[in-house]
Structure 1
Amino acid sequence: MADKKVGVLLSGCGVFDGAEIHEAVLTLLYIDQLGAEAVCMAPNINQAQVINHLTQAETDETRNVLVESARIARGEIQNLAEVTADQIDALILPGGFGAAKNLSEFAFKGPQGAVNGQVKDLLLAMLAAGKPVGALCIAPATVGMALSEKSPLLTVGSEEGVIGALAAIGVKHQLCTVDEIAVDEANKIVTTPAYMLGPGIKDVAIGIGKLVQKVLEMA
């Protein structure tokens, strides 16, 4: 697993409008512990919303997804527009509402919404190259939207509305507990519910650890 480069696609900083920080940091931790190199990236776009995480109310601020994601990456981050599939061996998308607000329009329009063009292009390129993709929490919804023609097998927790919405575009769903992963061997996609189920950081850590391990094995 050494020398493997794992892209970590961030969507901002904070569960309600960006990347879920616990999920992102745990992903980075397990990549490092397994001897691989994390390559953080994010699209250089404005966030769809900015949420006050103390009150959970929307504000009238404007924030940039790449700038906010750089907080989690300690400044070591690339503009998604400059990343290609041949530069990484695998790709992982932490969850958080940013994955469904900034990387796609799933939070606002369901699976009929658009996926960010750079995100979709990279996901399609990874699959075409036979390289694995991992996704946590709500991020599998964006992956499913981008790759719907492949009828991917995913888990997004247990919310029937989300499962049904994705089923309508051909996504197959596997119910998992927080410590389990769903593995689509044909498409090399690994997903885990994380904070879709919770309840706490020690719980989501188990599934995330298994996901990173499996993604690296597939790489």
Structure 2
Amino acid sequence: MKKVAVILSGCGVYDGTEIHEAVITLLAIRQNGAAYQCFAPDIPQMHVINHLSGEPVEGEVRNVLVESARIARGDIKPLAQCNAEEFDALVVPGGFGAAKNLCTFAVDGPESHFDADVMRVCKAFADAYKPAGYACIAPALAAAVYADSVKLTIGTDAGTAAGINALGACHIDCPVDEVVIDREARLVTTPAYMLAEDILQAYKGLTKMVETVLSLK
């Protein structure tokens, strides 16, 4: 049975992992006969957002690992313990946490800084040519990990695509229910909620991403 490492970035679309994307991803991994282990960096979130109002919550501090444990039902490990040699593939769901907590793309664009453990783990999979899938805004992270004009997508947003290209990638426009595959890098990306208007649209692209990642030799 193949084993997939899944990196989460908190709990909630505006300040962490997009929950629908994470759950669909985990379900798709199991539906395709593979197992997963969730990881998250043990660091403070950039900020906390009230998901009812969409406004920041002043003075509140939350931990990315602790919040991610909500999605993983407690079965999660600090990202510092992730060893790429123990896994066959990597998947990183989206949500703004990927661009706020795993890196600073949401604030700094092409001048982003990247969490050290996140970059170490992601590059370990890339350097070992192990398949990886990044969804939604998470390909901004992949752009820095792979660079070298790696082909990827966040959908069709021109401004975000320009920022990703500035990190060294080659953005390709993609509909919500499709994926972009860079076979040389063994990287698969899909727009998910960068374009999805409902959970069914997100489901189609995310399941295709997981199926493709697990099928890459």
TM-score under structure 2 length normalisation? 0.97
Q: Deviations over 1:94-151 (max 9, x none)?
A: 0000000000000010021111111111111111111011000000011112322x32
> In the alignment, which residue of structure 2 is the partner of 1:135?
134
Q: Residue 52 of structure 1: SS of its match in structure 2?
A: coil
Asked if structure 1 preserves the Cα contact closer than 8 Å seen for 2:155 and 2:194, the reply is yes
Partners of 1:169 and 1:57 lie apart in 2 by 29
Partners of 2:160 and 2:213 lie apart in 1 by 24
Partners of 1:137 and 1:212 lie apart in 2 by 13
> In the alignment, which residue of structure 1 is the partner of 2:152?
154
2:45 partner amino acid: Q
TM-score under structure 1 length normalisation? 0.96
Q: Give the CA RMSD over aligned residues.
A: 0.9
1:1-219 to structure 2, matched below 5 A, reads 3-59=1-57, 60-148=59-147, 150-218=148-216
2:72 partner amino acid: A
In structure 2, stretches of 5+ residues that fail to align are: none
Q: Residue 90 of structure 2: SS of its match in structure 1?
A: strand
Aligned sequence identity (%): 50
Partners of 2:45 and 2:167 lie apart in 1 by 26
Moved over 4 A (4+): none
Partners of 2:167 and 2:103 lie apart in 1 by 15
Partners of 2:146 and 2:210 lie apart in 1 by 20
Asked if structure 2 preserves the Cα contact closer than 8 Å seen for 1:111 and 1:145, the reply is no
Partners of 1:157 and 1:49 lie apart in 2 by 26
